[in-house]
Amino acid sequence: MAEVSILIGGKAGFGIDKSGAIISFIMNSLGYSVYTYRDYPSIIRGGHTFSIIRAATERISSHRNAVDYILALNQDTVTLHKERVKENSVIVYDVDSVKCDGVCPVKNAVGISVGSILKEESAPEIMRNTCVIGAFSKVAGIEWSIVESVLKKEISKDIEINIKVARRGYDEVRALTAIKPVKGRPLPLITGSEAMGLGFLKAGLDTYIAYPMTPASPLLHFLASEAENYSIKVIHPESEIAVMLMALGFSYCGESVAVGTSGGGFCLMTEGLSLSGMAELPVVIVLGSRPGPSTGLPTYTSQTELNFALSAGQGEFTRFVAAPTGAEDSYYWAALSLNISKKFRIPSILLTDKTICEGLFNFDIDSIKEIRPEASSVPAFGPGKGRVVKSNSYEHDEYGITTEDPVKTVQMQSHRLQKTNLLTKELEKYEIVKCGGNNKSDTAVLCWGSNRPVCEEVARSLGLKVISPIVLSPFPVDALKAALKGIKKIISVESNATGQLGLLINGYGIKVTTQILKYDGRPFSVDELESIVKGKL
């Protein structure tokens, strides 16, 4: 597989995120499969932020630590990423902000006076990134027509001056390498958040409600931008408590509703989650994990909320929990979770994280099974034509009337818990445990959620099997045991400190042989994980 990785870095406020997206679209236009990883601190200005764009001739959804190009808009980008360079790596840098002599750890370092170009073109400081993108494109041997075409599509304002600045950067340097076009079929590039949003819309979402909280915020922004096009309501209340209670109100009125949050916000939603279970009001909760406890690392990634999602809320009630593994999965399981909530009148939780929510992926709609919206129906305890039915948090009979009768209490609790059996039967027709890699191997890499793509790539390289449960409640123990048949060694890979999936399956009599746990807030890279797995074999 031929591939190339590009890192662009600078201070927060330098437009690094947009720059990474533009480079991604340039590489995609050349026919490559692309994945982009974003890394940034929880500040508006300053600090250090960077993106790694990986492009390959085969489908990829993970990044590498080692890069072929570094585009440096500040000194930190050179200093902090020295260990990423390879023998033939190239650094393109702004000579007005970066001192490279005796510092840049490569033979090929190309300097360009970005400040001078901006001054001559009367361009604002934010266009520093556009200038460096132009210079990189020339150094990498990319035709100007491709760069110009992408800029026109991806920049919404001041396009003419942006193109002039990029062209100046392009003309200031010479080609050193050649990233040649390939014959791949360019697929659309979207974030995991956008994929989830499209899945919700496909399944007939009526209302989305959220209080901004990374990493779920991009989903709020995307659906808000599309609300008018799809005639949906997107609401930003004053708190996560208000989010959940408002969502249950819409659900009571028969609307398909979803909410989004992270761990801290989900804490505030848990009483409303129990109300959803008791009153049988369907709602989907997008739970974006981030390192904790408390505020933790708000702009970084983790898989810390599995136990929380499985057990949140007082009392016992059926819930559906799924953890998508990438863009297509996010689309599919977002749509399916909305349908399942409506069909069984239960809460659904979509477990995700920054790696998925903010990662930029190729998206192949043709590879996804068709999902249609569930037929609209009046909620079990909602208002109907010619009748009034109570929605009650207290124990109640089938009409919503409060009761403390022991016989009726058992009857209603059994009715609610019976949904677990019905849902388990329903899920038999879906791929709730994914398998890949070498099916003949007796060693399996076990993972879930956003770790599947990197684990799958490593497993293919090392000749191992990879297994990942998508549905986590009701837990697919029979499907997982079937997938593990013939496996002698299980290497569990998780982005948390306690091995939450390993502990979960241990309760079903499945023993993990060895664990690989990462909890520094950063996702596994392909080269990093491959090295660790080799050491475990």
Residue 369, amino acid: K
Phi (first) and psi of residue 504, to 5 degrees: -65, -50
In whole angstroms, how large is the CA radius of gyration of the chain? 25
Instruction: Give the CATH number of domain 3-171.
Output: 3.40.920.10
The stretch 108-133 carries a mean pLDDT of 95
Contact 490, 295 (CB under 8 A): no
190 secondary structure, DSSP code? E
Alpha helices in 231-262 (DSSP H): 240-252
262: nearest Cα among 307, 231, 304: 304
The stretch 77-94 carries a mean pLDDT of 95
Measuring CA to CA, how many Å separate 380 from each of 276, 278, 315, 342, 400?
A: 12, 11, 20, 10, 9
Alpha helices in 497-536 (DSSP H): 500-506, 526-536
What pLDDT sits at residue 382? 53
Site of tokens 């989900």: 266
Alpha-carbon gap, residue 461 to 358, rounded angstroms = 26
Q: How do beta strands 257-262 and 283-289 pair?
A: parallel
Contact 40, 51 (CB under 8 A): no
pLDDT at 384 over 70: no
CATH topology of 3-171 equal to that of 191-428?
Answer: no
Alpha-carbon gap, residue 325 to 338, rounded angstroms = 18
Site of tokens 């903010």: 358
What pLDDT sits at residue 376? 46
What pLDDT sits at residue 377? 45
What pLDDT sits at residue 248? 97
Transcribe 62-123 into DSSP letters: ---SSEEEEEESSHHHHHTTGGGEEEEEEEEEETTT---TTT--SSEEEEE-HHHHHHHTT-
What pLDDT sits at residue 84? 96
Fold assignment, 433-536: Rossmann fold (3.40.50)
pLDDT at 139 over 60: yes
Encode pLDDT of 257-301 as tens digits. 999 999 999 999 999 999 999 999 999 999 999 998 999 999 999
pLDDT at 452 over 60: yes
User: Hey, where are the domains in the chain?
Assistant: 3-171, 191-428, 433-536
pLDDT at 379 over 80: no
Measuring CA to CA, how many Å separate 531 from each of 334, 337, 367, 488, 527?
A: 34, 36, 31, 21, 6
Sequence-distant (6+) residues with CB within 8 A of 415 are none
The stretch 234-252 carries a mean pLDDT of 97
Encode pLDDT of 307-327 as tens digits. 999 999 999 999 999 999 999
What length does the chain have?
537
Measuring CA to CA, how many Å separate 277 from each of 10, 316, 346, 476?
A: 47, 8, 6, 21
Across the chain, how many H-helices and E-strands are there?
18, 20
Sequence-distant (6+) residues with CB within 8 A of 379 are 251, 252, 254, 280, 281, 282, 345
Q: How do beta strands 85-94 and 33-39 pair?
A: unpaired
What pLDDT sits at residue 451? 98
Instruction: Give the CATH number of domain 191-428.
Output: 3.40.50.970
pLDDT-derived band at 12 (thresholds 50, 70, 90) equals: confident
Query: Hey, is 300 helix, strand or coil?
Result: coil
pLDDT-derived band at 465 (thresholds 50, 70, 90) equals: very high
The stretch 85-91 carries a mean pLDDT of 94
pLDDT at 114 over 50: yes
pTM (two decimals): 0.95
SS3 of 108-137? EEEEECHHHHHHHCCCCHHHHHHHHHHHHH
Query: Hey, is 195 helix, strand or coil?
Result: helix
pLDDT-derived band at 375 (thresholds 50, 70, 90) equals: low
Encode pLDDT of 193-204 as tens digits. 999 999 999 999
What pLDDT sits at residue 44? 79
Strand order, beta sheet including 85-94: 108-112, 85-94, 67-72, 3-12, 46-56, 33-39, 360-362, 189-191
pLDDT-derived band at 122 (thresholds 50, 70, 90) equals: very high
Sequence-distant (6+) residues with CB within 8 A of 403 are 395, 396, 397, 409, 412
Alpha-carbon gap, residue 504 to 357, rounded angstroms = 25
The stretch 137-166 carries a mean pLDDT of 95
On the CB side of 286, CA atoms within 13 Å amount to 40
- In this predicted model, which residue has the larger pLDDT, 43 or 61? 61
477: nearest Cα among 414, 516, 420: 420
Encode pLDDT of 174-193 as tens digits. 999 999 999 878 899 999 99
On the CB side of 80, CA atoms within 13 Å amount to 17
Average pLDDT, the chain: 94
Contact 38, 5 (CB under 8 A): no
Cα-based angle 381, 284, 506 (whole degrees, multiple of 5): 110
Alpha-carbon gap, residue 265 to 476, rounded angstroms = 28
Alpha-carbon gap, residue 335 to 371, rounded angstroms = 7
The stretch 44-59 carries a mean pLDDT of 93
Encode pLDDT of 153-169 as tens digits. 999 889 999 999 999 99
Share of the chain above pLDDT 90, in %: 90
Alpha-carbon gap, residue 35 to 523, rounded angstroms = 13
- Give the H/E segment covering residue 437: strand 433-437
